[in-house]
C-alpha cells in the first residue's frame, strides 16, 4: 500500500496524533456524515464516547478538547489556536454547536463526552463512538472511529475491510511494500530510495507541489525546534514539568563560544533539538507527525543536526532526507504499527529513530543497502519499549525519550555507513518482530498509563 510522504509527515497540533489529531479529524468527519441525513431525521444533540486508551489517557492528551474542536469544524492542520480557544469558551457557555449547513445541535462537552473505562472496542485500542440524537432522545445515527496512529482515522467498516495492498501497488511507478522489494527495485533501476519515493509522489501530484510540500514540512519542523528553544515555563497538565530546552541550548552555545565543549556534547545538541519539539508538542503547539506526535522530535532533531553539525551538509538534501525517512515509515506502518496504543513506544520512537537513521544515512552518501541497515539497527534497539506516559501526559518519559531516540538514530546511521550494507537481520524481519512484540505486550504497557513508569511515581 502506497503511503505518501504527506501521510507520514502531517502538520498538526500537540500533544498526541492518536489522541488529539485523530479524534479531532473523526469529529469533523462525523459532521460531514450528518450533512447527508434527510431533514426529517435531523439530529438535535450530539454525544461522543471514548474507549480504551482514549479514555484512560484522554484527559492528559486533551482528547475531549480535540473532539470539541473537531465538532466546531476545525482540522489539525488549519487550527488557529487563539480563535479556537475563544470558540471553546463560547461552546462551554452556550452548550450549542452551530455547524455549517446543519441546524444548531445541543452539545455540552462536560456531559456529552463520555470516558468509558471498560474494555476497549474490538477494532483498536483507540476507539470512539459518535451518536446523533433527535429531540426525543432517539438515535439518528452512530459511527465508530478508530484513531490508528499518526493522525490516521478509520471507521469500523474501513478497519474491517480487506486490505487492497496488492491492487493498490500496481498504480505506482515503484510499488515497494517491504524493504526487500525496495532494495530489489533499487538494484534493478539504479535509483536511490529517495528517487523512487519522489517518483511515486509525482504520480499523484505535480512535482512542484511535492517540492513545496516537502519544504513546508521542514519549515514547520524547524520552527518547532526554534520555538521550543526560546521558551521557558511549566508545561500544562499538573505534573509541574518545566521546559528545559532553552536553558540547555544556552549552555551549549556558551560552551561553543568558550571552546570548552566535550565530545559528547554532540549528543546534547541532538537531545535539545528533539526535546524542544516535544516540549512544544506537550504544550499543544504546532508540530509534524514523524510518524506520530509523541515521537515528533526525532526526525527534526536528526535533520537539524545534519544541517548544523555535519561538515558535508547541504540544504538541497533536505527533501531526500524526508523522502527516505517517509519510505521507511510507510513500510513500518504498512507491515506493523506506529501506534503506541497498539505496539507500545517501539512503534512511535522506535519507528521515528529508524526513519531518521535512514534519512541521515541517505544524505551522508549511504547506499540503499546501508540505508536499510541503518533503519534496522535503530529499530532493533527499541524493540520491546513500552508506552507508559505518566498521567497520560506526553511529557514523562516522552520528552527525553525523543532525545535518546535521536542519538540512537545517528549512531545507527554511522554504524551502517562503516559497513557495506551486509548484515544479519533484515529490516523486514525486525519490523515483523516489532509487530509480534506489540501483539504480545500487556495492554498495561501500551498507552493506558496503567503500568511501567506511569504507576511508579515519586512518593510525596
DSSP per residue, 27-69: HHHHHHHHTTS-GGG--SEEEEEEEEHHHHSTTTTTHHHHHHH
Phi, psi dihedral angles at 383 (to 5 degrees): -60, 135
Phi, psi dihedral angles at 15 (to 5 degrees): -100, -5
Apex 84 CA angle, 284 and 91, nearest 5? 120
CA 90 from chain centre, in angstroms, equals: 30
The C-alpha atoms of residue 21 and residue 289 are separated, in whole angstroms, by 10
Q: What is the pLDDT of residue 165?
A: 41
Cα(first)–Cα(last) distance of the chain, in Å?
50
Q: What is the pLDDT of residue 81?
A: 80
Question: Which is it for strands 113-115 and 45-52: parallel, antiparallel or unpaired?
Answer: parallel
DSSP notation for 212-281: HHHHHHHHHHHHHHHHHTT--SBPSSSS-PBP-HHHHHHHHHHHHHTT---TTHHHHHHHHHHHHHHHHH
Determine which helix (DSSP H) or strand (DSSP E) holds 439, and give its type and residue range: helix 427-440
What SS3 state is found at 6?
helix
Phi, psi dihedral angles at 123 (to 5 degrees): -80, -25
Pick the closest to residue 67 from 76, 102, 42, 104 (CA basis): 76
CB–CB of 55/115 below 8 Å?
yes
Write down the H helix ranges in 310-425: 318-335, 340-343, 349-363, 368-380, 398-417
Pick the closest to residue 338 from 282, 387, 292, 297 (CA basis): 292
Q: What is the pTM of this model?
A: 0.93
The C-alpha atoms of residue 176 and residue 193 are separated, in whole angstroms, by 10
**Polymer length in residues for the chain:** 460
Angle at which helices 318-335 and 207-228 cross, to 10°: 90
Burial level of 236, CB count in 10 A (0-12/13-18/19+)? middle
Q: What secondary structure letter does DSSP report for 113?
A: E
The C-alpha atoms of residue 164 and residue 145 are separated, in whole angstroms, by 20
Q: Give the residues of the chain that fall short of pLDDT 50.
A: 163-167, 460
Burial level of 77, CB count in 10 A (0-12/13-18/19+)? middle
Place of cell 559528547: 264
In the numeric block, which cell numbers belong to residue 111? 456531559
pLDDT tens per residue across span 416-458 = 999 999 999 999 999 999 999 999 999 999 988 889 999 998 8
CB–CB of 203/172 below 8 Å?
yes
Pick the closest to residue 30 from 40, 20, 22, 39 (CA basis): 22
The C-alpha atoms of residue 313 and residue 431 are separated, in whole angstroms, by 30
Amino acid at each position: 500500500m502506497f503511503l505518501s510522504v504527506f501521510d507520514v509527515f502531517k502538520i498538526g497540533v500537540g500533544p498526541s496524533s492518536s489522541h488529539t489529531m485523530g479524534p479531532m479529524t473523526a469529529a469533523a468527519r462525523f459532521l460531514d456524515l450528518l450533512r447527508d441525513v434527510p431533514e426529517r431525521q435531523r439530529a438535535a444533540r450530539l454525544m461522543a464516547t471514548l474507549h480504551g486508551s482514549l479514555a484512560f489517557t484522554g484527559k492528559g492528551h486533551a482528547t475531549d478538547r480535540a473532539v470539541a474542536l473537531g465538532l466546531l469544524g476545525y482540522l489539525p492542520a488549519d487550527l488557529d489556536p487563539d480563535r479556537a480557544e475563544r470558540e471553546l469558551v463560547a461552546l462551554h457557555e452556550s452548550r450549542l454547536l452551530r455547524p455549517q449547513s446543519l441546524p444548531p445541535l445541543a452539545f455540552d462537552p462536560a456531559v456529552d463526552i463520555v470516558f468509558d473505562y471498560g474494555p476497549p472496542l474490538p477494532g483498536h485500542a483507540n476507539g470512539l463512538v459518535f451518536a446523533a440524537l433527535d429531540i426525543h432522545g432517539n438515535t439518528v445515527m452512530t459511527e465508530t472511529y478508530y484513531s490508528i496512529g499518526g493522525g490516521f482515522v478509520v471507521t469500523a467498516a474501513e478497519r474491517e475491510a480487506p486490505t487492497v495492498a496488492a491492487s493498490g501497488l500496481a498504480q505506482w511507478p515503484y510499488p515497494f511494500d517491504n524493504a526487500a522489494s525496495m532494495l530489489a527495485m533499487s538494484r534493478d533501476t539504479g535509483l536511490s530510495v529517495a528517487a523512487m519515493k519522489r517518483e511515486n509522489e509525482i504520480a499523484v501530484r505535480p512535482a512542484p507541489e511535492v517540492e513545496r510540500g516537502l519544504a513546508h514540512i521542514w519549515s514547520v519542523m524547524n520552527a518547532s525546534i526554534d520555538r521550543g528553544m526560546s521558551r521557558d515555563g511549566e508545561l500544562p497538565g499538573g505534573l509541574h514539568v518545566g521546559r528545559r530546552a532553552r536553558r540547555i541550548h544556552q549552555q551549549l552555545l556558551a560552551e561553543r563560544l568558550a571552546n570548552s565543549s566535550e565530545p559528547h556534547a554532540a549528543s546534547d545538541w541532538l537531545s535539545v533539538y528533539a526535546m524542544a519539539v516535544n516540549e512544544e508538542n506537550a504544550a499543544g503547539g504546532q508540530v509534524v507527525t514523524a510518524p506520530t506526535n509523541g515521537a515528533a522530535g526525532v526526525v527534526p532533531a536528526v535533520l537539524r543536526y545534519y544541517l548544523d553539525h555535519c561538515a558535508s551538509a547541504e540544504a538541497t538534501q533536505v527533501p531526500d532526507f524526508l523522502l527516505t525517512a517517509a519510505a521507511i515509515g510507510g513500510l513500518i506502518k504498512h507491515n506493523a504499527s506506529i501506534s503506541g496504543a497498539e505496539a507500545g513506544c517501539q512503534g512511535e520512537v522506535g519507528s521515528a529513530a529508524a526513519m531518521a537513521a535512514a534519512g541521515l544515512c541517505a544524505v551522508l552518501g549511504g547506499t540503499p543497502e546501508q540505508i536499510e541497515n541503518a533503519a534496522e539497527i535503530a529499530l532493533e534497539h527499541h524493540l520491546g519499549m513500552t508506552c507508559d506516559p505518566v498521567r497520560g501526559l506526553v511529557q514523562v518519559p516522552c520528552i527525553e525519550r525523543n532525545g535518546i531516540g535521536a542519538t540512537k538514530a545517528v549512531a545507527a546511521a554511522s554504524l551502517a555507513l562503516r559497513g557495506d550494507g551486509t548484515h544479519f537481520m533484515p529490516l523486514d524481519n525486525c519490523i515483523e518482530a516489532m509487530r509480534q512484540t506489540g501483539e504480545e505486550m500487556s495492554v498495561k504497557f501500551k498507552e493506558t498509563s496503567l503500568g511501567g513508569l506511569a504507576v511508579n511515581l515519586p512518593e510525596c
